[in-house]
Amino acid sequence: MERFRVDGFDEFVAARWSALLHVARLLTGGDRQRAEDLVQEALVKLWFVWPKIAEQAPEAYVRTVLVRMAARSARRRWWGERPVGELPDLPGPGDLSSAVAERSRLEAALAQLPPRQRAAVVLRYCEDLPESQVAHALGCPVGTARSHASRGVARLRRILSGTVGAVG
């Protein structure tokens, strides 16, 4: 393959893989396998436009692709087999169980949000992006992105407090 295409691409992937996987995992409601698939597909799309995007904003491009692909894949009814992510309780070094339980609880709550609300909450509060970048990634006006994030946070609060109502 032509050498100009890979200049900087490998370094970008190595530097941002973990962060992109974290975002994808939150966007998919904690499903690590789906998240890995999303990141890989997004990076393939980035590869093809790398010469045009490399000097501009490759991370914003990948983030937008992730959000759109996660929303599209969330519409699927069936995902086939779903591996179990929890192993039986085993004694281990240190007590991380409360932190893991809290993270799992948050991921389960995020999974209950509609895809656009989930994306807005993840990008705004987990990725700490400004509202304008969240709007760009969602492909909507800033006010709409702000509304998605606000409604998503309100629904998360209801879910986490155990008072989920029909309105959301």
Domain ranges within the chain, ordered by starting residue: 3-76+99-161
pLDDT in tens, 94-123: 667 777 888 888 888 999 999 999 999 999
Name residues whose C-beta falls within 8 Å of residue 16's C-beta, 6 or more positions apart in sequence.
59, 62
Question: What is the C-alpha to C-alpha distance for residues 22 and 33, in angstroms, rounded to an integer?
Answer: 12
Question: What is the C-alpha to C-alpha distance for residues 119 and 106, in angstroms, rounded to an integer?
Answer: 14
State the burial class of residue 158 (Cβ atoms within 10 Å of its Cβ: 0-12, 13-18, 19+). middle
Task: Note if the pTM is more than 0.85.
Answer: no
Q: What is the mean pLDDT of the chain?
A: 83
| HSE, side-chain direction, 13 A CA sphere, residue 161 | 9
**HEC letters along 32-53:** HHHHHHHHHHHHHHHHHHHHHH
* pLDDT given for residue 30 in this prediction: 82
| Top-level class of domain 3-76+99-161 | mainly alpha
